[in-house]
Amino acid sequence: MESQNAGSDHPPQGLTRRQLLARAAALPAVSSELTSPSAPAVAERGVYLNVPSPLPPLTIHDWDEREWSRYLDLLTASRFNRLYFYLWQNEQSDFAADPAHKARNRRLHESLRKMIGLAHRRGMKVTFLFCPTFMPRVLWTQRPELHADIEYVRAGFPCLCPSRPDSWSLMRDVYRHELEWFRQADGFQLWFYDPGGCMCAECRRDITAPLVRQAEEFREMSRRIQPRAEFQISLWPVWEWESRLKIRYGLELLDRLKERFGEAHREIAITDSMDDPRSFLNAAKERGFRTQAFLFLTHVETPFLFLFPQFDYLKRTVARLAAAGYSGAFVHSLTPGSKALNTCLSGLALWNPAASEDELAYSVSLLFTGKPEAARRLAPALRLWERLILEGSPKPEEARELRRQAEETIALLSDERRRRLIWLPESAQAMEILVEGAASLNDPTQMVRLTARFRALLESTHTFRAYAPQGAAEFRRMAQWLAGGWRREHF
Ligand SMILES: [Zn+2]
């Protein structure tokens, strides 16, 4: 097992490990109970930052060095020691970018490259995620003969068929360029699907062959670009394809990868779902691979971009994780502008699953407010927040109480802190209208009125302005989730 930064190649500049630990202890962030375990439950604790289409300030697109530093400080104070990131290459590639987005995409690459250095200074390792069959749209549109046959393409995503020989030079060109951009990363993680992959007749003839070839070629490429980088392979969501296609191929894929890489397979990490019972993590562990569990706390397809403190989910999941003995875990994040607190709560839980929900609530509140008085106000609000989402039939008076607690919390803070936490009262105000909606689903006139109020509120906020049209369009769906209780789905 390891202490906080064990396994890192990047001690912060000029700091010894002893000084680093002293500095971490000096943060007002984490209560002593949570810093006490000498051996965390999960050795590698990561955040997977998925970079979607720009929706600032919810997404990272406008972040400068100060904003990145603040975020990375929150992550390290929450005991994360890994950061993973994925860039949607269809619209955000630097290779063959759409002329309209060329400058924006370049800035994004520069920002993420700078982030890697900032993370290293804090002792964090960084992994770049990529899906070789997923293409920049401008390039893909020019080569219709290479298009994949898979539902992602029908949903509008530009994917290539890896059984066409000409696809390979495109895949290599695009991803050599992207891997070079992030050559200072400590790891590269290959995804076959989601979005990407192909299920044409040729690909299905020997379904694991194009996957094994991707693993081989791109591991080789990543080693040429960065010899010290770890290589990881995601099996998400092979289990789902197995069910739909009625073809079992996940175990065969693991066996072929093991055979192909020989003893080196022990250095390769397989990543897969923590939540789906069909996940291949245990099969990978039995075969000697390293294993990293993916916790999908933010669901891309749901429009719910408001805070959701997931004490209940974390309590159940982290206990299973600790017992399973995987090498690491990483939690999904899409809109840190409104959900960084969700993420930090996960980090604290991964560090010490024995901590009670109240301890976790207080610690994460102290981390964000920096002030015990404000943390004492916010911690019970976070527990109430979760209950309003999970339990169904939420009470409007409780949602009003939640908004009051959020407003009282930030009233206790300095102007600067208050500006940084503006998403908190804004999210609580949105929750108040959503809860009213949950109680008014059968009243069409009231629903029209509430939807208009919801949209006007979002438009008036700093955090959710750009999201207002989508938020209003999804108002009914979100209110329905709250009415029924959102226990089965996590996001
Ligand atoms: Zn194909």
184 shares a domain with 122: yes
159 CA to centre of ligand 1 in angstroms:
10
290 CA to centre of ligand 1 in angstroms:
29
Of 304, 335, 358, the residue at which a domain comes to its end is: 358
* Residue-number span of the structural domain to which 375 is assigned: 360-484
341 shares a domain with 365: no
300 shares a domain with 328: yes
Residues 6+ positions from 384 with CB-CB distance below 8 Å: 398, 401, 402, 405
More confident residue, 11 or 271: 271
133 CA to centre of ligand 1 in angstroms:
10
Does 482 have pLDDT greater than 90?
yes
311 shares a domain with 324: yes
48 CA to centre of ligand 1 in angstroms:
29
467 CA to centre of ligand 1 in angstroms:
36
Residue 136 lies in a domain: yes
Which candidate, 266, 256, 343, places its Cα nearest to that of 298? Answer: 343
Query: pLDDT at position 107, please?
Result: 97
Residue 326 lies in a domain: yes
**Range from 307-311, 351-355, 456-460 carrying the lowest mean pLDDT:** 351-355
- Retrieve residue 382's tokens: 């976070």
Residue 253 lies in a domain: yes
121 shares a domain with 74: yes
Residue 390 lies in a domain: yes
192 shares a domain with 232: yes
Does 90 have pLDDT greater than 60?
yes
119 shares a domain with 93: yes
How would residue 1 be classed by pLDDT, with cut points 50, 70 and 90? very low
198 CA to centre of ligand 1 in angstroms:
4
> What pairing do the DSSP bridges indicate for beta strands 290-295 and 230-234?
unpaired
207 CA to centre of ligand 1 in angstroms:
9
199 CA to centre of ligand 1 in angstroms:
5
146 CA to centre of ligand 1 in angstroms:
8
374 CA to centre of ligand 1 in angstroms:
56
161 CA to centre of ligand 1 in angstroms:
4
Does 20 have pLDDT greater than 50?
no
Query: pLDDT at position 454, please?
Result: 98
Residues 6+ positions from 201 with CB-CB distance below 8 Å: none
Q: Counting runs of H as helices and runs of E as strands, what totals does the chain give?
A: 23, 8
How would residue 489 be classed by pLDDT, with cut points 50, 70 and 90? low
Strands (E), 217-312: 230-234, 269-273, 290-295
CA dihedral (346, 350, 352, 357) in degrees, to 10, reads: 30
Does 29 have pLDDT greater than 70?
no
Residue 5 lies in a domain: no
245 CA to centre of ligand 1 in angstroms:
14
- Tens of pLDDT, residues 367-396: 999 999 999 999 999 999 999 999 999 999
139 shares a domain with 278: yes
99 CA to centre of ligand 1 in angstroms:
29
Mean pLDDT of the chain: 91
Q: What CATH code is carried by the domain that includes residue 93?
A: 3.20.20.80
397 shares a domain with 296: no
279 CA to centre of ligand 1 in angstroms:
24
**CA distance linking residue 305 with residue 300, whole number of Å:** 10
Taking residues 353-371, what's their average pLDDT? 94
Residue 312 lies in a domain: yes
Residue 59 lies in a domain: yes
372 CA to centre of ligand 1 in angstroms:
57
156 CA to centre of ligand 1 in angstroms:
17
Of 313, 336, 358, the residue at which a domain comes to its end is: 358
Does 6 have pLDDT greater than 90?
no
194 shares a domain with 55: yes
- Tens of pLDDT, residues 188-238: 999 999 999 999 999 999 999 999 999 999 999 999 999 999 999 999 999
197 CA to centre of ligand 1 in angstroms:
8
437 shares a domain with 289: no
Taking residues 166-190, what's their average pLDDT? 98
Does 281 have pLDDT greater than 70?
yes
| Helix (H) or strand (E) segment spanning residue 65 | helix 65-77
How would residue 490 be classed by pLDDT, with cut points 50, 70 and 90? low
Residue 183 lies in a domain: yes
Of 358, 380, 413, the residue at which a domain comes to its end is: 358
446 CA to centre of ligand 1 in angstroms:
50
Question: How many structural domains are present in the chain?
Answer: 2
Query: pLDDT at position 290, please?
Result: 98
218 CA to centre of ligand 1 in angstroms:
18
324 shares a domain with 391: no
